[in-house]
Amino acid sequence: MSIERIVLAFAGIVIMLSVALGMPGSPVFHHEYWLYLTAFVGLNLFQSAFTGFCPLASILKAMGKKPGTAY
């Protein structure tokens, strides 16, 4: 799996999990504050689209993962 696909999969999982934990109608509801994590991931994706900086991508590159064909 390439760095880009790992980043997108991780962001999707974190967003879905934090929405499930933060929405009062959810069967796994914990607290509304989990929605701040959703906002953080969304803002991080937005800023990385313009700056090219993604902390997770940097960590994955340091771990030896290879970028995909998008680079």
pLDDT in tens, 1-34: 899 999 999 999 999 999 999 999 999 999 999 9
Which stretches of 1-71 are DSSP H helices? 3-22, 34-51, 55-62
pLDDT in tens, 49-62: 999 999 999 999 99
From residue 36, alpha-carbon distances to 14, 20, 40, 66 in Å are: 11, 12, 6, 31
The band of 70, judged by pLDDT with boundaries at 50, 70 and 90, is low
Residue 41 within a domain: yes
Residue 26 within a domain: yes
- The parent domain of residue 40 ranges over 3-62
Residue 71 within a domain: no
- What's the number of domains the chain is made of? 1
Residue 69 within a domain: no
Residue 36 within a domain: yes
Residue 70 within a domain: no
Residue 28 within a domain: yes
Residue 53 within a domain: yes
Would you state the structure tokens that stand for residue 31, as one six-digit string?
């607290």
What is the pLDDT at residue 57? 93
